[in-house]
Each structure stands twice: as structure tokens, then as C-alpha cells.
């Protein structure tokens, strides 16, 4: 009987191992990271097992192939999953929690990235939680503000999709990233949907979703609570669609900043739609920001529509004298210094059906470049009050030209 039991146990073990690689219906091969030695206890380093599982899935000639992360906690250091892949589609399906190394100053801090997918076509990143464990670095940066002689690394963005095409990021939760939570850079055809971002309101530089030098990118159904922009649009982007995003706390949805010499001859953003958004207790709502520098570029063809503001400091704002830390030259006071003008031309920007409350008296602010005024600004059916008591808010315009139609409250200054 004992011998029979051992044989049965051995058969079960071999069956379990075989199941780790069984194709799904339709021919998909599954590569389970546990089979490659990943540990689900959150203690053992699972970086290499993750890489080996990816390498086999990427080399697979089957269509599609799936890297599977079972429930559990997996400690993973700086890692780059590189394509192109042999299969016509690779899915990275996470049913667990992937955690970054504790503390800061590990190798991700020098590269600026924690988990990266590079040069992959037909990629899906689905489910699970990424825990960037950024608390130690945030504390360092807060201390550095009080004692400028100290030094803290920049930190690592949690999930980066780089130089890839036809990508879907679906149902991913990112918590406590050291730096940006989700980054899309130099990509074409990316959809980010049902993403949740969680970080404290005072966590520095923790943008929720950052898009850079990409085209045909869509963001849907995101819930973002963070210490910086909920969605940030950097230079070199075109054809973006952002819809159904709940933001707060955070710094709003921002185009920019542009004009800070980011290695491009012309810093341009065009054809952007931001639709059906909610802002709660954020420092900004719908923002365009550029530095007051001579760097050339433009922002054009932007539509912000169907937005709800609740206690937002700056519900609608264009700031072409962006200088958060001061020292940018010119006059002025506070954190923003007045400049001679920005080389970024802003035109054809529409605000349609924006409603709710501002926590400051100025609900609409267009502070545009003296040498390069904003043009083609449109306000239609905008109703913003000062605080929840229905006090009268006001608008402020500097070097801005445009039109207003429908009910516009506060009255337009264009």
C-alpha cells in the first residue's frame, strides 16, 4: 500500500508539472513562473524565474502564449521583458502581487524603471497588483526638501511599455510606485483600461499614467489617487483618447510640461480628446503647462468635454509660465516666475460641458505666452462655482484669444 501511495503521489506531482504547460483551448501555451522557480512568499528573489518564463513564452511559435503569475507575493527586481517575440501575441497574466525590493537605491533607481516591456508587438498585460514600495524614497525626498544638501535617487517607474505596438494593459493595480506608475513611451496603438493607481497625496512625482512620444493611445476607466498628475501627456504625442477617468487626490490631467529641453527639435502634442472625467480635491482639473523657455513646439487640436469638478483648486488652467520650484528668471513671486514668453504655441483647445466647484476664486485661468499668445480657445457650456456654497467664481486671462458660447459661468474673459 505504501509503495502504491508513493506512485500515486509521484504521478500527481508529474501531472501538476505537466498542467503548468498545458495549452488553453485554442492552442495557447501557458508558462507558469512557479515552474521556473518563482517563490510566492514575497521573500525569495523571483527575478530570474520571471525572465526565464518570459523568454520561453516569447520564443514560442504557438499563438498565443501566456506568462502566468499565480496568486501570491513575488519579489522581483529591475527587469526588462524584451521582444520581438515569435508568437503572434503574448499575454502576461498576473493573478498575484509583484513587489519591488525594499528601500531605495537598488538597480531600478539608476535605470528609472522597475518592470519594462520592450519592443513587443501584440502584448497584453493583465490583472494583478504591482507594489513599488516607494515609501522610503518619498521620505528621502521630503527630507531633502528640508535639508537640500542631502541626495535621493530619482526612483523607478513601476510599469513601462516601450517601443512597442498593439498593446493592451488591462485591469492592473499599481500601488506606491517610487516614480510614475504606468509609462507608455515611443509606442503606437496602446490601450490602457481598468487601471487603478493608489499613492498618497504627498508622494512626489508619482504620475498615474504618463504618455510620451507615442501615437494612437487610449485610456479608459481609470481610477487614480496619487501625488502628481493623474494622467500626464508629454511631448511627441498625437491621437490620444482619454475617457472615464476618476482623479483625486492628484494634480489633474495635464498636457505637459513642455519646453524643458527634452531632446526634441520641436515639442508637439496634437489631436487629444479628454472625455467624461471626475476630479475630487485635486490641485488642477484640465491643465496645459509649458515652461517659459524659447524651446519651440505646439499644442493643438485638444478637446476637454464632460468633466465634473468637486473642490478643485484650478478646474481649467493653461499655464505657460510653469516653474514649480522657482528660479526661472524674470519677475513674479511664489513658486512661479514670470518669463518673457514661451516658444510653445497653444491653439484650437475646446472646453465643453465642464461643471462643478472650484476651491479657489479663480476657476478659469489662461496664463499664456506674451510672445506666443494662445488662440482658438473655446468655452461652451461651462458652469463652475466657487466652493460648494455657490459663490461667484471668476476667470483670468493673459494673452489668450478665443470665444465663448452657451451658458458660461464664470463669465468668459476671452
Strands 65-69 and 29-32: parallel
Strands (E), 226-361: 231-233, 237-247, 253-258, 267-280, 284-291, 297-312, 314-322, 344-358
The residue from 181, 210, 212, 251 that is catalytic is 251
The set of cell numbers assigned to 160 is 513601462
Active site residue 170: no
CA geometry: angle 306, 309, 310, nearest 5 deg: 150
Cβ neighbors of 159 (< 8 A, separation 6 or more) are: 114, 115, 116, 125, 130, 169, 172, 174, 181, 182, 183
Phi, psi of 65 (to 5 degrees): -125, 145
Alpha-carbon distance of 332 to 179, in angstroms, equals: 30
Stated as kind and residue range, the H or E segment containing 7 is: helix 2-19
Rg (CA), the chain: 24
Active site residue 251: yes
Alpha-carbon distance of 192 to 181, in angstroms, equals: 12
Alpha-carbon distance of 412 to 410, in angstroms, equals: 6
Contact present, 277 and 244 (Cβ < 8 Å): yes
Nearest to 212 by CA among 161, 155, 154: 161
Contact present, 65 and 91 (Cβ < 8 Å): yes
The residue from 78, 207, 212, 228 that is catalytic is 228
Cβ neighbors of 331 (< 8 A, separation 6 or more) are: 337, 338
Q: What is the residue whose three cell numbers read 503569475?
A: 69
Alpha-carbon distance of 242 to 235, in angstroms, equals: 16
Count of residues for the chain? 414
Collapsed DSSP state (helix, strand, coil) of residue 281: coil
Give CA separation, 25 vs 34, 63, 65, 141, 400, in Å: 21, 11, 12, 49, 59
Q: Tell me the sheet residues that pair with 220.
A: 193, 243
Contact present, 352 and 380 (Cβ < 8 Å): yes
Active site (catalytic) residues: 228, 251
Amino acid at each position: 500500500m505504501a509503495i502504491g501511495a508513493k506512485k500515486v503521489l509521484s504521478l500527481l506531482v508529474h501531472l501538476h508539472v505537466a498542467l503548468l504547460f498545458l495549452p488553453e483551448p485554442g492552442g495557447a501555451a501557458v508558462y507558469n513562473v512557479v515552474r521556473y522557480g518563482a517563490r510566492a512568499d514575497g521573500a525569495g528573489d523571483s527575478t530570474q524565474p520571471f525572465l526565464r518564463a518570459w523568454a520561453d513564452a516569447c520564443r514560442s511559435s504557438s499563438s498565443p502564449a501566456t506568462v502566468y503569475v499565480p496568486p501570491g507575493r513575488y519579489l522581483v527586481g529591475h527587469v526588462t521583458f524584451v521582444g520581438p517575440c515569435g508568437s503572434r501575441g503574448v499575454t502576461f497574466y498576473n493573478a498575484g502581487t509583484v513587489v519591488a525590493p525594499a528601500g531605495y537605491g537598488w538597480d531600478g533607481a539608476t535605470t528609472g524603471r522597475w518592470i519594462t516591456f520592450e519592443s513587443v508587438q501584440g502584448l497584453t498585460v493583465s490583472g494583478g497588483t504591482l507594489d513599488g514600495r516607494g515609501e522610503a524614497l518619498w521620505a528621502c525626498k521630503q527630507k531633502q526638501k528640508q535639508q537640500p544638501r542631502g541626495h535621493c535617487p530619482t526612483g523607478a517607474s513601476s510599469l513601462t511599455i516601450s517601443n512597442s505596438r498593439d498593446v493592451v494593459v488591462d485591469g492592473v493595480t499599481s500601488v506606491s510606485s517610487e516614480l510614475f506608475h504606468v509609462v507608455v513611451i515611443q509606442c503606437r496603438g496602446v490601450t490602457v483600461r481598468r487601471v487603478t493607481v493608489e499613492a498618497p497625496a504627498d508622494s512626489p512625482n508619482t504620475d498615474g499614467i504618463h504618455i510620451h512620444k507615442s501615437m494612437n493611445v487610449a485610456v479608459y476607466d481609470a481610477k487614480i489617487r496619487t501625488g502628481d498628475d493623474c494622467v500626464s501627456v508629454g511631448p511627441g504625442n498625437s491621437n490620444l483618447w482619454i475617457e472615464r477617468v476618476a482623479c483625486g487626490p492628484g494634480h489633474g490631467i495635464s498636457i505637459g510640461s513642455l519646453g524643458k529641453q527634452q531632446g526634441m527639435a520641436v515639442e508637439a502634442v496634437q489631436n487629444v480628446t479628454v472625455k467624461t472625467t471626475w476630479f475630487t480635491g485635486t490641485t488642477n482639473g484640465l491643465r496645459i503647462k509649458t515652461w517659459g523657455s524659447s524651446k519651440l513646439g505646439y499644442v493643438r487640436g485638444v478637446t476637454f468635454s464632460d468633466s465634473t469638478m468637486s473642490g478643485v483648486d484650478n478646474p481649467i488652467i493653461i499655464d505657460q509660465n510653469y516653474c514649480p520650484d522657482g528660479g526661472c528668471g524674470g519677475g513674479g513671486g511664489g513658486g512661479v516666475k514670470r518669463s518673457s514668453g514661451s516658444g510653445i504655441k497653444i491653439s484650437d483647445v475646446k472646453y465643453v460641458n465642464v461643471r462643478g466647484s472650484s476651491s479657489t476664486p479663480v476657476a478659469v485661468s489662461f496664463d499664456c505666452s506674451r510672445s506666443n499668445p494662445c488662440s482658438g480657445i473655446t468655452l461652451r457650456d461651462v458652469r463652475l462655482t466657487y466652493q460648494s456654497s455657490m459663490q461667484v467664481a471668476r476667470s483670468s486671462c493673459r494673452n489668450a484669444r478665443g470665444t465663448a458660447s452657451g451658458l458660461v459661468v464664470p463669465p468668459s474673459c476671452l
